[in-house]
């Protein structure tokens, strides 16, 4: 039962981007690329990097605070905090309990979720279910500091990745048209090795003489990744729209993972959504993996509003390959 005075679903949004702007010209110079090469192939014009004294919870904190304030609820009513990240403060312990402590949430559990670029969708699906089951508010935060995992000599990863955080507050739905209306969460381990950080896990443990390239990101098979992303995201979107009996024209906002403008354009064309319904932050903020969707949901509210009854489609795919789509009712 909903005890939040008929409010429900996604009710609070927050975002944070570090101050340091890194323009394409800097990277193109370092990699010997011609002017305009990065934007033509990715749609990215600039991205943000953290300062040397910032860790993951430092950038997750302001996004979470903004979402809680935007929600207008008593922070004591938040019963769970989920942090989707691939770059925690430490490998152990998880970062979510520290974030909960910094936020001063007296009744919240906290756990990290590692789902790469699709991590926010998995966390949001869990949040929606837990909010419904327990009748409480859930805070979902996605944040990454990928600037410290980029191989500066590898073109494929260096031109794309960035640092940012986004957050939402989820309440139990007040009626059946709020919250998650349809969901598709999937994985395909056949492509497991295409996007990875090879070293540091139990397969290739850290050792003192480890080559630095082994604990930096590697992105291989660009054409395969592109084709797999377009096909998977298209099929997933059509699947959940069919589940919900919703036409593409009836989707009010589409928030895709900000991976590459060509992927986003191809998927949007395939399932037939108008470009003016697509939330885009890629050009100014780059690809911050799981953080891009909640970041875009919050940042784009500066120029658009989410009204009661609106339907928002979320789509993501990333390393693993882990993918998913959610249809959200406001």
Per-residue pLDDT reduced to its tens digit, 283-310: 999 999 999 999 999 999 999 999 999 9
Q: Which of 15, 117, 144, 253 is catalytic?
A: 117
46 and 193 share one domain: no
Domain CATH number, residue 89: 3.40.47.10
Q: Can you tell me the mean pLDDT for 209-234? A: 90
Q: What is the pLDDT of residues 242-277, one digit of tens each?
A: 999 999 999 999 999 999 999 999 999 999 999 999
What are the backbone dihedrals phi and psi of residue 73, each rounded to the nearest 5 degrees, phi first? -95, 160
What is residue 6's predicted lDDT score, i.e. its pLDDT? Answer: 67
> What integer is the mean pLDDT of 85-91?
96
Q: Which of 24, 144, 260, 287 is catalytic?
A: 287
Provide the pLDDT for residue 39.
98
Question: From CA 291, how far away is CA 143, in angstroms rounded?
Answer: 5
Task: Identify any residues that bridge with 22 across adjacent strands, giving them in sequence order.
Answer: 47
pLDDT at position 222 is 86
pLDDT at 96 over 80: yes
Beta bridge partners of 59: none
Taking only the tens place, the pLDDT of each residue in 160-178 is 999 999 999 999 999 999 9
Contacts for 196 with CB less than 8 Å, ≥ 6 apart: 217, 218, 319
Catalytic residue among 15, 144, 253, 257: 257
Give the model's confidence band at 220: pLDDT under 50 very low, under 70 low, under 90 confident, else very high. Answer: confident
User: Cα(321)–Cα(330) distance, rounded to whole angstroms?
Assistant: 29
Instruction: Assess whether pLDDT exceeds 70 at residue 221.
Output: yes
Q: Is residue 70 part of a domain?
A: yes
Residue 2 lies in a domain: no
User: How far is residue 56's CA from residue 142's CA, in Å, rounded to a whole number?
Assistant: 10
Residue 1: the pLDDT is 41
Residue where one domain finishes, among candidates 155, 171, 187: 171
Q: Which two tokens stand for residue 32?
A: 């010997």
Residues 212 and 320 in one domain: yes
Q: 131: domain range?
A: 9-171
Domain identity same for 309 and 187 = yes
Domain count, the chain: 2
Judge if pTM exceeds 0.85. Answer: yes
Active-site residue flag, 300: no
- Last residue of some domain: 131, 155, 171? 171
Q: Are residues 145 and 205 in the same domain?
A: no
Do 148 and 43 sit in the same domain of this protein? Answer: yes
Domain for residue 3, yes or no?
Answer: no
Q: What is the rounded average pLDDT for all residues in the chain?
A: 95
User: Is the model's pLDDT at 121 over the cut of 60?
Assistant: yes
CB 271 within 8 A of CB 236: no
Distances (CA, A) of 166 to 20, 66, 143, 249: 17, 9, 6, 27
pLDDT at 63 over 60: yes
Q: Which pLDDT score, from 0 to 100, does residue 4 have?
A: 61
Here the tokens at position 221 are 């098979």
8 A C-beta contact, residue 134 and residue 171: no
Is there a domain that residue 1 lies in?
A: no
pLDDT at 5: 60
Q: What is the pLDDT of residue 140?
A: 98
For residues 24 and 160, give the distance between their C-alpha atoms in angstroms, rounded to a whole number. 10
């Amino acid at each position: 039962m909903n005890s939040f005075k008929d409010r429900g679903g996604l009710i609070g949004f927050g975002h944070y981007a570090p101050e340091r702007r890194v323009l394409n010209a800097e990277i193109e110079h370092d990699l010997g690329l011609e002017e305009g090469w990065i934007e033509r192939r990715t749609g990215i014009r600039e991205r943000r990097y953290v300062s040397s004294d910032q860790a993951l919870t430092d950038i997750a904190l302001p996004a979470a605070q903004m979402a809680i304030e935007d929600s207008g609820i008593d922070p004591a009513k938040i019963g769970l905090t989920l942090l989707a990240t691939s770059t925690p403060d430490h490998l152990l312990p998880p970062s979510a309990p520290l974030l909960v402590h910094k936020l001063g949430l007296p009744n919240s559990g906290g756990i990290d979720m590692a789902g790469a670029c699709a991590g926010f969708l998995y966390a949001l699906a869990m949040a929606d279910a837990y909010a419904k089951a327990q009748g409480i508010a859930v805070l979902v935060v996605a944040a990454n500091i990928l600037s410290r995992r980029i191989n500066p000599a590898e073109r494929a990863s260096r031109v794309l990745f960035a640092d940012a955080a986004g957050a939402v507050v989820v309440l139990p739905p007040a009626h059946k048209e709020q919250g998650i209306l349809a969901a598709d969460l999937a994985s395909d381990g056949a492509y497991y090795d295409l996007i990875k950080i090879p070293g540091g896990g139990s397969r290739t443990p850290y050792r003192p003489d480890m080559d630095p390239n082994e604990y930096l990101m590697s992105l291989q098979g660009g054409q395969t990744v592109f084709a797999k992303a377009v096909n998977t995201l298209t099929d997933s979107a059509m699947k959940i729209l069919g589940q919900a009996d919703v036409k593409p024209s009836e989707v009010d906002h589409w928030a895709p993972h900000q991976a590459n403008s060509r992927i986003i354009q191809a998927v949007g064309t395939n399932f037939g959504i108008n470009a003016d319904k697509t939330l885009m932050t890629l050009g100014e903020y780059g690809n911050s993996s799981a953080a891009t969707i909640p970041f875009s949901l919050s940042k784009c509210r500066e120029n658009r509003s989410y009204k009661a009854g609106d339907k928002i489609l979320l789509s993501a795919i990333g390393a693993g390959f882990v993918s998913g789509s959610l249809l959200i009712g406001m």
